[in-house]
Amino acid sequence: MPYVDAPNTKIDIGDSNPKILIVSADKDDLIVKTLIDGAIDGLVSSGVLKTHIELVNVKVPDQISAKTLECLQETKTAIKHGQKARLYDNTEYEYGYDAVICIGVLIEEDNVAEFDKKSMKCYNDAMDIILDTQVPCIMGILTCRDYEQGLERAGIGRVVKGMNHGYFWATAALSEIQVRKMISEGRSDENFIRELNLASTKTSASKNINVGILCAQWNMEVNSEIVIETIKTLVEKGYNISHIKVFSASGSFELPGLASYLIQTSRKVNNIQKPNNEHVEAVVCIGSLIKGGTKHFKFISDSVERTLDILSEKTNVPCVSGVLCCTSFEDALSYIGKSKTIKREDPHVGTTLGLKVFEKTK
């Protein structure tokens, strides 16, 4: 397989020197402080200069998105016609930060009645900012049942130590910058297509439709299989394999933002309109969300589905969701026909996704 089962925890940024904004809520809280330290450690260990990391704090998580948008708008500048981008291209504007990491913690037992509503608002508001700016915003707002769960996810649990998620968020931010840079340079995961060894369909009847397949890096044992089956189905339906491009998103939450970036920059980049034959005409987003000890997986799932619907309507490009929301890893395996205990009558989910693209691009 061309992917591993979990994202890389080390990103080589070379000499790119990205600028990262960290927006936190209640930075003096032990959990938040530890997560910030983990994020900074992850960034610096990958080569990001400390002087290129800016910290901004608000009182509560509800305020993170508004502050994030404010900081981005303050650094917003119009791109001159054909102007070369700093690290990755944008459509009309660029911003002073290449990625944002939002860090905070919401505790359910502190406010049971409003917890779900507040959590979803934080997720959806961050998604909206990404669609508006094309700047990746990493969701580092923990949604925990109690304070102990937050400590675990900061790597300082009293019962189960856990791992510092801040480090993962740093990696995610750099990964999202890299994939946008790859798109800007006209590159994709060609090795993935090559390893499938499928015959190219370059006949007069071929569908020369540009299709982007975006794959989250978590749970790749499942996701890789879905990508493969989706591509096979598209080729069987007559799509030209040379017009199918695969890209990696750091996680399922990042899929809609990457889809937006891929679609928008295929039409217009650095204030230059691109020819119609370069436009992305369909996107498939693939990921597997597995239920853990919090509602995090469900919040991501709902936010991703909502945002892909918005993006489809906004761009008139079908954004097909292949993000699974599963109760267990075995449940996820059942969608690709590899579960030993759960059997589904439905076809392979990758087949279903390929057929959905076919129906929506007739």
Q: How many CB atoms are located within 10 Å of the residue 194 CB?
A: 10
pLDDT digits (tens, 9 = 90+) for 258-293: 999 999 999 999 999 999 999 999 999 999 999 998
Contact predicate 137/100, CB 8 Å: yes
Q: Give the Cα separation of 76 and 73 in Å (integer).
A: 5
DSSP class per residue in 194-259: HHHTPPP--STT-B---EEEEEESTTHHHHHHHHHHHHHHHHHTTB-GGGEEEEEESSSTTHHHHH
Judgement on whether residues 275 and 146 belong to the same structural domain of the protein: no
Judgement on whether residues 356 and 259 belong to the same structural domain of the protein: yes
Instruction: Inform me whether the pLDDT recorded for 296 exceeds 70.
Output: yes
- Long-range contacts of 355-360, Cβ-Cβ distance < 8 Å, separation of 24 or more: 355/233, 355/237, 356/318, 356/320, 357/211, 357/230, 357/234, 357/282, 357/284, 357/318, 357/320, 358/233, 358/234, 358/237, 358/239, 360/282, 360/318, 360/320
Instruction: Inform me whether the pLDDT recorded for 205 exceeds 80.
Output: no
Q: Give the Cα separation of 157 and 351 in Å (integer).
A: 42
Judgement on whether residues 62 and 81 belong to the same structural domain of the protein: yes
Q: Of 120, 148, 182, which residue is a domain's last?
A: 182
Q: Give the Cα separation of 232 and 352 in Å (integer).
A: 11
Ranking 198-207, 208-217, 333-342 by mean pLDDT, the lowest is 198-207
Residue 201 pLDDT class (50, 70, 90 cuts): low
pLDDT given at position 5: 45
- Structural domain tally of the chain? 2
pLDDT digits (tens, 9 = 90+) for 42-84: 999 999 999 999 999 999 999 999 999 999 999 999 998 878 7
Judgement on whether residues 149 and 216 belong to the same structural domain of the protein: no
Q: Give the Cα separation of 116 and 128 in Å (integer).
A: 18
Judgement on whether residues 201 and 326 belong to the same structural domain of the protein: yes
Domain of residue 48 covers 20-182
In a domain, 124, yes or no: yes
Is the CA virtual torsion 83, 129, 297, 310 positive or negative? Answer: negative
Q: Give the Cα separation of 122 and 60 in Å (integer).
A: 11
Judgement on whether residues 219 and 174 belong to the same structural domain of the protein: no
Closest CA to 46 of 21, 85, 20: 20
Judgement on whether residues 102 and 166 belong to the same structural domain of the protein: yes
In a domain, 7, yes or no: no
Judgement on whether residues 81 and 107 belong to the same structural domain of the protein: yes
The three-state secondary structure class of 27 is coil
| Distances 235 to 208, 282, 295 between C-alpha atoms, Å | 11, 14, 37
What's the CATH number where 341 sits? Answer: 3.40.50.960
User: What pTM was computed for the model?
Assistant: 0.94
Judgement on whether residues 228 and 345 belong to the same structural domain of the protein: yes
